[in-house]
Amino acid sequence: MKEVERGGKEKPMRAAMPTVAGWIDELRAEFGPAVINRAMAQGVRGEPDRFHAAEGGQEIGTPFRPVGHAVRILE
């Protein structure tokens, strides 16, 4: 069964990326849907550093810019 959003539009990415979809659901519950939906829309529109996800050969959003410098602490 395909999941659909309001208005009957199918959500193919939710079906293709179930782990990402579950993580997004958790983020919406923690931070509120408005915050997460806004970040996702910005990433889908091409804004870097807002939203990017990949799973099972599918990809959505805009990749984050590389970090200029990083520190790695080993124990």
pTM of structure: 0.72
4: amino acid identity, one letter: V
Residue 51 burial (C-beta neighbours within 10 Å; 0-12, 13-18, 19+): buried
Asked whether the predicted pLDDT for residue 2 surpasses 80, the reply is no
Q: CA 31, CA 25: separation in Å to the nearest integer?
A: 10
- pLDDT tens for each residue of 17-75: 999 999 999 999 999 999 999 999 999 999 999 999 999 999 999 999 888 877 777 87
Question: Band of the pLDDT at 1, cuts 50, 70, 90?
Answer: very low
Token pair listed for 42: 């910005």
What is the predicted pLDDT for the residue at 17?
Answer: 94
How many of the other CB atoms lie within 10 Å of CB of 34? Answer: 9
